């Protein structure tokens, strides 16, 4: 069924203005549409509407010599180009006293579907960071690369450098589909090539079509192409998104069981690769049958809004590989048409599904597909981590997965990786912010090992499992949303957690531990066995009881804990875990079985401290 795109019939004239631009993209459910649009649109909706397909006044802002910032509205528009305006919050006070504006800089996220980059691209990323950013590279939880500390005048040269390396930052942020994730190291290389192909197809399919990116960053001198949106006002630029794009960010992943490294259930749209059960792992001949489709996952929540919460995605069916782009488009278009555009805190697909019901949602998606989704196929996930160290594939390809703490590569490590580019067939960024040196020839293995050791890239050999399974977002000092430290603080906290684990003989236990500086969930803290979500400097909410394989959310356990209280609470639980666990039982599962944490059946429960008395 093809979405019905007839324009809206006469209705309440009061809604006309609001309805006009979205009407041709909407379905035919008039009553739904009307009720939704009686609410005032959020400010960002106005900005998108007025941005003329993501142009805003960015070109003028870039030339403004009085400030290192861009105009207020442009801070929203720039996100669609992969750029966030930030400032060094550590310096705010000093600069305010000096009558200087905040030290504005920009974070730029390069779009890297599936985290796959060539050696040449890696060299470019390295060089661009050293030349135009702060000389570090941050691997993100979405397998992208972030540059930090880019001053306004350096944005264009950096983006042109990406362009030269066949990379871009289009839609790496903003109310659009963001970087498409994909397992970068499944058991079979052939399978990787297949799923990676589809990940890239998805990425291209869901990219905004506006020419604004090229116009603003790459080629400002070139006149707009005839008939393009900026030249003639012909508004055909965004056949999928329309002029106001999506109500909120949209995240898409591809997972390859049995590894759930991408945290499949945390995303708006997911695809689980289903292979021929007769030919699983190791043989190199896995045949890709198709994908289970998942929808409605998401991490973000607000401390002060009980209507917000993380939610796990639902599995809604199965489709053959070729149907993937069409399915993606259908899901995106449902969210485009029905997502909440008045309250950004409840604008993700997860709330659209929650508010309207999963049945309605699946029907709406099916209605927009030529071939309906089939019954979902069985699958099983074991864990959410990476396969550290060397993995060798049939045919002699070798990949080395390195542990990169919180995804931050500093100068020395970058130096080492730069040397290694000569020996690698490529690099892959994992969903756990780690890095894979891919396709190393058999003869180069020792040389790579030597370089890895020389440049301190070999922490995967020494770090304890809890560190290898830990993640933090960037937080302070640059993230404007951060309420507490994360990346800068987690390493020390892990030191102390390790001590407590060791005290109970648990030092070799793999436990997922994730920390974020705010409740928005960049490091997916609600899916970790121990989740720490920042509330204020030095103060965190402690979440416990998620599944090790990413299939169950954790639950808020204690609020506003400082370090001492965190460690004390964990120490008690580690003691019980050490004494009462069953063989092979994970920490999160134990907490549930022992009744210490009540399982979260629905997302909204996750923010409720359980009523069960913890003392037993």
> Which positions touch another protein (CB under 8 A)?
65-68, 91, 94-101, 103, 151, 153
Contacts of residue 256, Cβ cutoff 8 Å, sequence gap at least 6: 182, 183, 186, 191, 192, 195, 272, 273
**Least distance (Å) from another protein to the CB of residue 153?**
7
**Least distance (Å) from another protein to the CB of residue 91?**
7
Catalytic residue among 26, 55, 79, 109: 109
Residue whose CB is less far from another protein, 411 or 578: 411
Q: Would you state the structure tokens that stand for residue 59, as one six-digit string?
A: 């070109």
**Least distance (Å) from another protein to the CB of residue 158?**
15
Active site residue 182: no
Q: In the Cβ-directed half-sphere of 193, how many Cα atoms lie within 13 Å?
A: 9
**Least distance (Å) from another protein to the CB of residue 56?**
19
**Least distance (Å) from another protein to the CB of residue 92?**
11
Q: Give all strands (DSSP E) within 6-92, no chain letters.
A: 83-87
Strand order in the sheet with 389-392: 116-117, 426-429, 435-440, 398-402, 389-392
Residue whose CB is less far from another protein, 35 or 97: 97
Active site residue 251: yes
Alpha-carbon span 184 to 376, nearest angstrom: 23
Q: Give all strands (DSSP E) within 432-490, no chain letters.
A: 435-440, 470-472
**Secondary structure, 3-state, 363-387:** HHHHHCCCCCCECCCCCCCCECCCC
Could you tell me if 340 and 351 are in contact, meaning their C-beta atoms sit under 8 angstroms apart? yes
Residue whose CB is less far from another protein, 105 or 179: 105
Could you tell me if 429 and 437 are in contact, meaning their C-beta atoms sit under 8 angstroms apart? no
Residue whose CB is less far from another protein, 92 or 604: 92
Residue whose CB is less far from another protein, 161 or 425: 161
Residue whose CB is less far from another protein, 153 or 454: 153
Active site residue 178: yes
**Least distance (Å) from another protein to the CB of residue 57?**
16
Catalytic residue among 173, 319, 522, 555: 522
Catalytic residue among 48, 111, 152, 178: 178
Alpha-carbon span 497 to 471, nearest angstrom: 14
Alpha-carbon span 278 to 393, nearest angstrom: 19
Residue whose CB is less far from another protein, 100 or 612: 100
Task: Return the number of other C-beta atoms located less than 10 Å from residue 453's C-beta.
Answer: 12
Active site residue 34: no
Give the bridge partners for 398, in sequence order: 392, 440
Catalytic residue among 55, 111, 142, 249: 249
**Least distance (Å) from another protein to the CB of residue 146?**
21
Active site residue 109: yes
Tell how strand 513-516 and strand 530-536 pair up: parallel
Catalytic residue among 55, 350, 479, 607: 479
Residue whose CB is less far from another protein, 65 or 395: 65
Alpha-carbon span 145 to 529, nearest angstrom: 26
Residue whose CB is less far from another protein, 129 or 154: 154
Residue whose CB is less far from another protein, 11 or 157: 157
**Least distance (Å) from another protein to the CB of residue 59?**
18
Q: Which of 569, 582, 579 is nearest to 615 (CA)?
A: 569
Q: What would you report as the CA-atom Rg of the chain, rounded to the nearest whole angstrom?
A: 24
Strand order in the sheet with 145-150: 83-87, 104-110, 145-150, 137-139, 408-409
Catalytic residue among 138, 350, 518, 555: 518
**Least distance (Å) from another protein to the CB of residue 222?**
23
Contacts of residue 429, Cβ cutoff 8 Å, sequence gap at least 6: 112, 115, 117, 139, 140, 143, 144, 145, 184, 435, 436
Q: Give the DSSP H or E segment for 390.
A: strand 389-392
Q: Would you state the structure tokens that stand for residue 258, as one six-digit string?
A: 């049995």
Active site residue 48: no
Cα 50 to Cα 76, 102, 247: the distances in Å are 12, 27, 15
Could you tell me if 299 and 550 are in contact, meaning their C-beta atoms sit under 8 angstroms apart? no
Alpha-carbon span 345 to 356, nearest angstrom: 17
Q: Would you state the structure tokens that stand for residue 45, as one six-digit string?
A: 């909706």
Active site residue 473: yes
**Least distance (Å) from another protein to the CB of residue 51?**
23
Residues classed as catalytic: 109, 178, 249, 251, 473, 479, 518, 522
């Amino acid at each position: 069924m093809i979405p019905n795109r007839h324009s809206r019939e006469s209705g309440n004239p009061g809604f006309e203005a609001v309805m006009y631009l979205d009407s041709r993209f909407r379905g035919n459910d008039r009553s739904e549409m009307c009720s939704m649009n009686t609410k005032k649109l959020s400010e960002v909706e106005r900005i998108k509407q007025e941005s003329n397909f993501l142009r805003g006044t960015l070109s003028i802002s870039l030339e403004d010599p009085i400030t290192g910032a861009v105009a207020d509205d442009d801070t929203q528009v720039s996100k669609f180009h992969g750029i966030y305006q930030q400032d060094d919050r550590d310096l705010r006070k000093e600069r305010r006293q000096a009558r200087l504006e905040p030290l504005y800089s920009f974070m730029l996220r390069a779009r890297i579907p599936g985290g796959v980059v060539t050696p040449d691209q890696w060299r470019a990323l390295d060089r661009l960071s050293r030349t135009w950013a702060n000389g570090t590279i941050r691997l993100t939880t979405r397998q992208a690369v972030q540059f930090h500390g880019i001053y306004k005048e350096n944005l264009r040269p950096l983006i042109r450098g990406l362009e030269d390396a066949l990379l871009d930052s289009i839609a790496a942020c903003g109310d659009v589909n963001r970087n498409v994730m994909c397992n970068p190291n499944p058991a079979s290389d052939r399978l990787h090539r297949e799923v990676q192909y589809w990940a890239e197809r998805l990425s291209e399919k869901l990219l905004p079509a506006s020419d604004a990116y090229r116009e603003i960053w790459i080629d400002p001198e070139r006149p707009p192409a005839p008939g393009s949106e900026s030249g003639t006002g012909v508004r055909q630029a965004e056949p999928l998104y329309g002029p106001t794009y999506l109500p909120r960010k949209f995240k898409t992943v591809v997972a390859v069981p049995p590894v759930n490294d991408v945290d499949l259930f945390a995303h708006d749209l997911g695809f689980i690769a289903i292979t021929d059960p007769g030919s699983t792992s190791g043989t190199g001949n896995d045949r890709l049958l198709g994908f289970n489709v998942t929808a409605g996952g998401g991490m973000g929540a607000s401390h002060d809004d009980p209507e917000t919460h993380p939610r796990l995605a639902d599995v809604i069916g199965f489709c053959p590989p070729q149907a993937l782009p069409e399915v993606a488009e259908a899901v995106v278009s449902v969210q485009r048409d029905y997502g909440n555009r008045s309250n950004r805190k409840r604008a993700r697909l997860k709330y659209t599904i929650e508010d309207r019901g999963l049945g309605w949602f699946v029907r709406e998606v099916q209605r927009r597909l030529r071939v309906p989704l089939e019954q979902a196929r069985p699958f099983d996930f074991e864990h959410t981590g990476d396969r550290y160290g060397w993995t060798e594939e049939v045919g002699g390809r070798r990949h080395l997965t390195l542990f990169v703490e919180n995804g931050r590569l500093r100068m020395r490590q970058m130096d080492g990786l730069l040397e290694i580019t000569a020996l690698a067939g490529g690099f892959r960024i994992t969903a756990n912010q780690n890095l894979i040196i891919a396709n190393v020839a058999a003869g180069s293995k020792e040389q790579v090992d030597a370089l890895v050791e020389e440049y301190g890239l070999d922490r995967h050999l020494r770090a304890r499992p809890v560190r290898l399974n830990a993640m933090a977002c960037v937080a302070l000092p640059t993230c404007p949303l951060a309420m507490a430290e994360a990346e800068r603080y987690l390493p020390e906290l892990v030191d102390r957690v390790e001590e407590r684990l060791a005290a109970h003989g648990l030092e070799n236990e793999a436990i997922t531990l994730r920390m974020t500086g705010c409740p928005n969930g960049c490091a997916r803290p609600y899916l970790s066995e121990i989740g720490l979500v920042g509330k204020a400097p030095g103060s965190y909410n402690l979440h416990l009881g998620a599944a090790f394989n990413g299939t169950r959310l954790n639950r808020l356990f204690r609020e506003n804990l400082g370090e001492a209280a965190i460690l004390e609470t964990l120490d008690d639980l580690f003691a019980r875990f050490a004494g009462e666990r069953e063989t092979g039982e994970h920490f999160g599962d134990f907490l549930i079985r022992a009744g210490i944490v009540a399982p979260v059946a629905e997302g909204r429960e996750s923010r409720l401290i359980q009523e069960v008395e913890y003392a037993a």
